[in-house]
Amino acid sequence: MAIGANLTELGKSLILNLIGALLVFLAGVLFSDPIQRHVAQWRRRRAFRKQKPAFVRIFPIIFGAPFDQLTHLLLRQNRLQPFFQLEVIHWEAWRGHEAAEARLRALRTDSRLEFVEKFQAEMQAYNEASGAAENPINVAVTDLVFPKNFYCWNTRDRRGIVIGINSLHKLFREDPILVNKIILRIVQRMLLYSLGIDSLTAHQYTWGCLFDLTPILTDLQYSVDNTYLCKQCARAIESDRGMEFLDMAKVWVKGDTTA
């Protein structure tokens, strides 16, 4: 009887061990890939987090509509990528804002570059007054009419950007959500562009690529939810910044802009 009982115990423990081993094996088969992928992704993110992100200041200058929804969308980008740290400036709370706006309103120019340089000068004046230690990338979002009815331009060094949403509102007035999404895409494009990545340029004819500057502005609405980085742009980013940077840029660009 004693031997029989021991055998039963032995059998039980054998079976339990086998089941345990089988479960570990199954878990390994089922979950090792996703777990490894997550660990790799987490490591990459941690490595990038150690690098300082580029600081970006968003200035709503001469901007009539409420900025709350757009602020939410813009600040959400901080959680979706490690390259940039966005901050939305309380422009109208600054006592210098009225004089700055008067100077910008008085501007008469057909030059998009001059238009952007004047905005950049005002944003830099704000930064100096606020004692910003970093040298941020400045992005103005404005209702002021853009030269040649354009909607976006940057300074020569690419660190001053103006998004003129007057043209966008004229085209998509009925849909402020769509306009916000388009602004967000422009911000993504211009920020990646501001990094000065070799051979990354705006192009046409790759419909839906973040850097595809479609000549027909209304086409933007079809690609805004399905944006990606085309092979040419992906190659340019990878050769300048490496595979991991490209991976994260792809995730950022692919991510939905609805929340």
Binding residues for Zn ion, per CB under 5 A?
206, 209, 211, 230, 233
CB of 44 to Zn ion, least distance (A): 23
Is the CB of residue 191 less than 8 Å from the CB of residue 137?
yes
Comparison of 76 and 250: residue with beta carbon closer to Zn ion? 250
Contacts of 127 (CB under 8 A, 6+ apart): 57, 136, 138
Q: Which amino acid is at 41?
A: Q
Shortest CB 86 distance to Zn ion, Å: 23
CB of residue 246 vs Zn ion: minimum separation in angstroms?
12
Cβ closest to Zn ion, residue 135 vs residue 204: 204
Q: Which is nearer to Zn ion, 88 or 209 (CB)?
A: 209
Q: Name 139's Cβ contacts closer than 8 Å, sequence gap at least 6.
A: 56, 57, 58, 59, 161, 162, 163, 187, 190, 191
Q: What is the DSSP string of 176-241?
A: HHHHHHHHHHHHHHHHHHHT--TT---BSSSTTBTTB--SSGGGHHHHTTS-B--HHHHHHHHHHH
Shortest Cβ distance from residue 28 to Zn ion (Å)? 40
Q: How far is the CB of 249 from Zn ion (least distance, A)?
A: 12
Helix (H) or strand (E) holding 85: strand 84-88
The token duo for 100 is: 């700055």
Nearer to Zn ion, 142 or 227 (CB): 227
Q: Which is nearer to Zn ion, 186 or 209 (CB)?
A: 209
CB of 199 to Zn ion, least distance (A): 11
Tokens read off for 166: 């007057």
Phi, psi dihedrals of residue 137, rounded to the nearest 5°:
-85, 130
Cβ closest to Zn ion, residue 122 vs residue 212: 212
